[in-house]
Structure 1
């Protein structure tokens, strides 16, 4: 198993395997680690990377252990690859705007969509573009002077305003879906709506609801159809979940406009619906930590770092891409990490 490795390009990566078995026109999913061992529902693998640099890759493996779990002779197998990023925080390039030079840290991590694009193209070249999905777990349009400039100085909301550089870059790379992060709301809902309009992929938030109607304010999920050589397509659902803490952290921007219920409740509502719609695989992209703790105590009835609870309590989920700092994790000075945590929470089915 490779966790937090540093492949060519310098961006940390994490590899996972997703295999789809077709037997008698039914698909059965099995998630395996890089060493071929199946995950159980309580297994969580975590790694940290510099802000904007985290990339989690779910890809096929050819290890002997994985081969041992292959279907019987005569059945058909289709493998596809899921790539995930999180906490991009306005980083298009590997550039430090404070020092006005290339970004570097003690671990010599790199950041930014330009670096990520190189890795994505490498994976697509190896696996085939039609056999891959690329998703994000939020916190995209805040965090650098570049993102501030296009929110406040030359705002994308202005008449004939510019296209946000993050939208341009993510469109060019070819993202398939992205969950909302709490920092998406820092510059107000109009900026977020304009960014959403400029993206050629959906921004997902099943637990971001209109405060008056309690209906989803953003698309809750997206459905993706992958064509197989076996005469039956694979339907992959991506469910997006954001952080309930938005109600506190961006109260001035969202009060009376949006409400943010718990991740577990909304996942329990939507996952069965996605399965009934024919989803063969359900992936959750959640802007939440996995510790089960909250930095805001009892100010809200919903857990901040709830991705682990979602994995434990909601059946029918195949994998969870976890983004966001674990704000309330014990042992972290000030309740905050300096680098965004990135975790896959997987279970075998």
Structure 2
């Protein structure tokens, strides 16, 4: 087998682009307690996930700085400040930065450059590519929401990134070959004349894409079981020289699914750690939970696999720290641990803000356009348990849209029923001007 030359989506990608990976910054050896003890080095992994189009610490629906009951902050600009602080504190020691997916959907900012001025039509760089390129990630995993706007937009976004996008279990439906880069092996430099640490990074996306974005992927992509895919690729990565194996997975750790058995498990991360030998740690996302540090015992080797999930929207940053020694030509992890950093402790990184400022301001102008008038204020506060006009509005629009679409078809005379849920419990149409942001905040 030969290594792929780059992360082109339509090529057959069966190996990591190790030779093309740039070496990371050097890590200094830790001081040994005694002459007889082997030298040790350390590696830090910083992980983000489920940023969902948040760059600024901004609530586009309220047209104000983001705030919630727990005083969380959000956005890639806040994550960048924490990441840069840790890079400075480590003074040249080896540091990796990964993301576990759901990046290009979730805010009016992301929607604007997918729908109103799609990057596929304008050629403009996506705001999440701009922001993440400033941070200089080492790899990102594709989340299920990366497929929301179709494969052409996803392909272009991947090409705009300055680092690999991974999804080993997304397979070309016709050829059975990987549709995206499955993994990379990063050469981590430990200094002049020091041994090189080779870190394998495997990306796994969520099988639920086959249901949730059926219209975009049916007949084009197949989404294989995440556990079986890890079992396939981890030995290949080890055979190709990976000293340490990390997985960046877009799936929760509960072992359950929101759908039935027709698709592979939606949240299998703990099962991957338990059943697949050779994995050292897993950064994961999808469930929007904060899992600081969890160890799962591999049932075949007894090894402790470290797991961590950094909440959502850029509220948290996972930090994993590994201590390694090298004896008889082999690397051994002697210690690993995870901690969680809160982005409400720092200011936004000015370089990230500057990179996205024009797009942020254009989005704010767009969502503040007036699109309707309301004679009275309408709120979703009571919509969970009583009939409210604001949800009646959703049902009316849905039923009207479907009725118009059925006109002139064999189904035109069928009755149209509509169901709506109060996705937001705080949305309000004010009396008077109703803006795009009010409508977007409702649904």
Global fold match (TM > 0.5): yes
The question of whether the paired residues in 2 share the 8 Å contact of 1:92 and 1:166 is answered with yes
User: Secondary structure in 1 aligned to 2:206?
Assistant: coil
Kindly tell me: are residues 292 and 99 of structure 1, through their superposed partners in 2, closer, same or farther at Cα, counting changes over 3 Å? same
Per the alignment, residue 307 of structure 1 pairs with: 269
Kindly tell me: are residues 262 and 345 of structure 1, through their superposed partners in 2, closer, same or farther at Cα, counting changes over 3 Å? farther
Per the alignment, residue 235 of structure 1 pairs with: 198
Q: CA deviation at 1:345?
A: 5.0
The question of whether the paired residues in 1 share the 8 Å contact of 2:126 and 2:157 is answered with yes
Per the alignment, residue 315 of structure 2 pairs with: none
Per the alignment, residue 87 of structure 1 pairs with: 50
In 1, distance between residues paired with 2:71 and 2:201? 32
The question of whether the paired residues in 1 share the 8 Å contact of 2:42 and 2:93 is answered with no
User: Secondary structure in 2 aligned to 1:296?
Assistant: coil
In 1, distance between residues paired with 2:69 and 2:198? 42
Q: Select the residue among 114, 119, 133 that pairs with 2:82.
A: 119
Q: For 1:261-293, what per-residue CA distance to the aligned partner results, in whole angstroms no more than 9, with x for missing partners?
A: 111100000001111111111000000000100
User: Secondary structure in 2 aligned to 1:264?
Assistant: helix
Q: CA deviation at 1:74?
A: 3.9
Per the alignment, residue 145 of structure 2 pairs with: 183
The question of whether the paired residues in 1 share the 8 Å contact of 2:50 and 2:101 is answered with yes
Q: Is residue 2:222 matched to residue 1:265?
A: no
Can you give the 5+ residue segments of structure 1 that lack an aligned partner in the other structure?
1-59, 326-338
Q: For 1:52-80, what per-residue CA distance to the aligned partner results, in whole angstroms no more than 9, with x for missing partners?
A: xxxxxxxx9x9xxxx99x89834111101
Aligned residues: 270
TM-score of the aligned structures, taking structure 1 as reference length: 0.74
Bigger radius of gyration, 1 or 2? 2
Can you give the 5+ residue segments of structure 2 that lack an aligned partner in the other structure?
1-27, 296-303, 306-332, 334-443
In 1, distance between residues paired with 2:230 and 2:150? 26
The question of whether the paired residues in 2 share the 8 Å contact of 1:272 and 1:316 is answered with yes
* 1:313-324 alignment, distance < 5 Å: 313-324=275-286
Q: Select the residue among 102, 108, 124 that pairs with 1:162.
A: 124
Q: Select the residue among 124, 144, 162 that pairs with 1:200.
A: 162
Runs of 4+ in 1 over 3 A off after TM superposition: 339-346
